[in-house]
Structure 1
């Protein structure tokens, strides 16, 4: 029998894979240049990264599609004439106005309320509100109070704002219970106060709501509250921009641009 020496190269054991020498011998057996092999490994890593980014983008696209569908349903609801409280013409009438006067006295509430000025002392009160109008967002309060004989005991006047349906339905109290001297100095000069917020956000007065104020005269003797002017300021520029969108114009569709 003829004997011959056969060259045999086996794969390393698992424990030897961490040896750089073994790693290079393995690449030599496979006929692969180590530098090129590093490029192959980088491609695999990059592919994994790209797949992760793709999955994130796919998830974000699904979220955007859902949000888009919700917005389109909202636009269709808003553009339906049956859901519109005030026409564009009515809204335009308020575009140059920056204040709302609470000057409409609410009658028929019974004692201790009075139906009109003057408001007698000893706990009598009056409720004032504004007429129906498109929704708005108050930003500032200005109040003037006129007492009998030019008295200046504004501390005896209590002022509370309410937000609700209006008229005889009082609604929810808004802000603190104010005193008259928080709005007027002893010499009658006015103090401007910001309108209160709800949970840190501005309070919107809806189109089906009214802002009302109650003024209670706790003075003694014959000191009547002869008159009062309650003015609430709001940003009419923002109001007009927010209420004059192009979505519902003729030629505009919820799923297409305006012509």
Structure 2
């Protein structure tokens, strides 16, 4: 069967001497893997459409597990995301997260638009960490892992000082904090931001200025929830951690 789709390359690997297998996250049919023959050749007309983070229009034939590319045109090369280390690292994390959390051929137009907007945000120098956290929240919500952020997960109270309990799946009020001694403190600003992440459309994200201490709090919160409920080991996240550790 022949398919015509718009997609973003979220994975690319060598296949044989001259070919590549790319995984596309497409608007029309979700995630799909296709062979791009000759993509490793220097003069190949398809080498550019097989590069990570490229957004393009792809025409391919699929009769089994893998499709075979027939034609492709670049919509947005996103070459800056491959040329700057930090942008590459954050873009790679979002690509790997998408690849690992979504099943094959599960169409999700909204999430596709969010990833496309996230890459555009990275390219236009918006805050990389904030973009990453919003996209994380979007993919969690679309995959059924949305944390409870509006009411205490125990008593349903929505007032007073709150903490974040990864184990219980959301916020805990001050009266219920003893139910999870490991619950993380939440400043009013951090709580406001994570609630914003759940509602924010990345396509509408402007420039945002977040204090370093708030960003560190957000990182701990998002990591604790991810590790508790999803638990995927991602190479790209480990690389981000190494960059932070050594101040690269």
Report the TM-score range of the alignment, normalised by the length of the smaller protein: under 0.3
| TM-score, with structure 2 as normaliser | 0.18
The structure richer in helix per residue is 2
Asked which structure has the greater RCO (Cα within 8 Å, sep 6+), the reply is 1
Compare CA radii of gyration and give the structure with the larger one.
1
